[in-house]
Amino acid sequence: MSRALKILAFQASAIAAGVLMMGVVADMARAAPPVPPTAVTIGNFTFNSPTLTVKPGTTVTWTNADDIPHTVVSKDGIFKSKVLDTGDRFSFTFAKAGQFGYYCSLHPHMTGIVTVKA
Amino acid sequence: MLDDLEDDRRGFLKCMAWAGTGALFAFQGGIGSSIGLDAALAAPVKRTAIQPFTFAQISDSHIGFNKPPNADARATFREAIAKVKALPSRPDFVIHTGDVSQLSRDEEFDDADQMLKELGLPVFFVPGEHDMLDPDGGKAFLNRFGKGSQGTGWYSFDHRGVHFVALVNVADLKPGGMGNLGAEQLAWLKADLAGRSSSTPIVVFAHIPLWTVYADWGWGTDDSAEALKLLARFGSVTVLNGHIHQITQKVEGNIAFHTARSTAFPQPAPGTAPSPGPLKVPPEQLHSMLGITDALFVRGHDRIALIDSTLSA
């Protein structure tokens, strides 16, 4: 193969690789649409994402970052954490669509809502 | 003599509270004036058939708390108990206005219990929200500290002519709300007060303030107005609370409100921080922000003096 052909072949393969990579990126984008936050930090006596929208099947994890214990309790009795001391976590998987209000049973002025829709 | 005193008693409500800054506030008919603490203590006590007495209030011991600004809430509780022991006039009893523990653990309740027993005095409790964290939602507290109480832990008793009412406003809290007494407890309170003469001095104690100190932080009780309505006809009502870990006071009609310091950690003044929670003061400041309250009854003078003192004093 002449030197010129070699260069041509290299360029072609580089372009092919580039096209392939673009395809992979596009596939990744299709497989994983922008992921909504599934973590809620509790800090300064607030749920830091007080409103959260997720798809059915999403697991939401709350982590207490305060020096004071808190709880995560569904207003409708659907889920209820144990007391969460500093650094403790609680997770719940939202299987069905709907609106799920919750609060801290120790400090009930702390409230949040998880909206689950497909 | 006694009749005169009774008239005087009806005409005046004198409630004094020392805010730990050396000031003493005397309230007469709801109008506050300030006098020196030494002068007040030296004031002659009128002779009446009923002997004066004192009781002490401790609050928010949070046994088990070990984070800044206090690595050992047990140690500061022990200091508070020593402070009660050293009071010039031995109190008849002690009230603990809740948050005995940090996480409602057995060993936290047990340590508090053991330390309090060193006082050799009766202790009357109400739970704070930190005392409701066992899996049964307050049973551990009630089994140990709430014997003979009703519902979630309310009760009343009489001592030397004064009626004491212990209320629970930390159970079954509603989303978006503050403290809560609930219909059942309010009905009980109505019945408890019904047969009593309006001249009976009343002391009410509960964990969360029974007036709204700061709604944004949940520092109040949603249905306290209904309780206060039942108390309005009494000539002398003193409401003692904890929860907010600092002294606040107010007089409304014949009702004097007062919140006590914690023995564990201070909290910010309303609205001065993004949220409530432990105020991380330097170690050398901590003891000046923790303390106890000593309450002095002098019938005839009808005076309730509340003297707050810090652990550093």
Q: Is B119 left (phi over 0), alpha (psi -120 to 50) or beta?
A: alpha
Report CB contact under 8 Å: B277, A105. Answer: no
How confident is residue A6, by pLDDT bands cut at 50, 70 and 90?
low
CA distance B10 to B112: 40
Looking at the complex, report in whole angstroms how far the Cα of residue A59 sits from the nearest Cα belonging to chain B: 23
CA distance B164 to B229: 17
Does B9 contact chain A (CB < 8 Å)? no
Instruction: Give the closest of B173, B215, B278 to A105, CB-based.
Output: B173
CA distance B268 to A67: 14
CA nearest B99 in A: which residue? A106
Q: Find the helix packing angle between B106-117 and B73-85, rounded to 10°.
A: 20
Q: Which two tokens stand for residue B13?
A: 């409500």
Please report, in tens digits, the pLDDT of each residue of chain B (313 residues total).
333 333 333 333 233 333 332 223 332 322 233 333 444 444 444 444 456 899 999 999 999 999 999 999 999 999 999 999 999 999 999 999 999 999 999 999 999 999 999 999 999 999 999 999 999 999 999 999 999 999 999 999 999 999 999 999 999 999 999 999 999 999 999 999 999 999 999 999 999 999 999 999 999 999 999 999 999 999 999 999 999 999 999 999 999 999 999 999 999 999 999 999 999 999 999 999 999 999 998 865 565 889 999 999 6
Predicted pLDDT of residue B298: 81
Q: What is the pLDDT of residues A58-110, one digit of tens each?
A: 999 999 999 999 999 999 999 999 999 999 999 999 999 999 999 999 999 99
Residue B159's nearest CA partner among B236, B54, B239 is B54
Predicted pLDDT of residue B22: 29
Looking at the complex, report in whole angstroms how far the Cα of residue B233 sits from the nearest Cα belonging to chain A: 32
Predicted pLDDT of residue B148: 94
Report CB contact under 8 Å: A68, B174. Answer: no
Residue A74's nearest CA partner among A40, A47, A43, A114 is A114
The answer as to CATH 2.60.40.420 being correct for domain A39-116 is yes
Q: Give yes or no for residue A2 having a pLDDT over 80.
A: no
Predicted pLDDT of residue A19: 46
Does A76 contact chain B (CB < 8 Å)? no
Report CB contact under 8 Å: A106, B275. Answer: no
Report CB contact under 8 Å: A108, B176. Answer: yes
Q: Which two tokens stand for residue B200?
A: 């009976």
Predicted pLDDT of residue B1: 36
Report CB contact under 8 Å: B68, A67. Answer: yes
Looking at the complex, report in whole angstroms how far the Cα of residue A115 sits from the nearest Cα belonging to chain B: 17
Topology of domain B2-310, CATH: Purple Acid Phosphatase; chain A, domain 2 (3.60.21)
- Give the residue extent of every domain in chain B: 2-310
- Give the residue extent of every domain in chain A: 1-33, 39-116
Predicted pLDDT of residue A26: 44
**Chain A residues with beta carbon closer than 8 angstroms to that of B274:** 44
Contact present, A100 and A77 (Cβ < 8 Å)? no
Helix (H) or strand (E) holding B84: helix B73-85
Report CB contact under 8 Å: A46, B275. Answer: yes
Predicted pLDDT of residue B247: 97
Looking at the complex, report in whole angstroms how far the Cα of residue B176 sits from the nearest Cα belonging to chain A: 4
Does B167 contact chain A (CB < 8 Å)? no
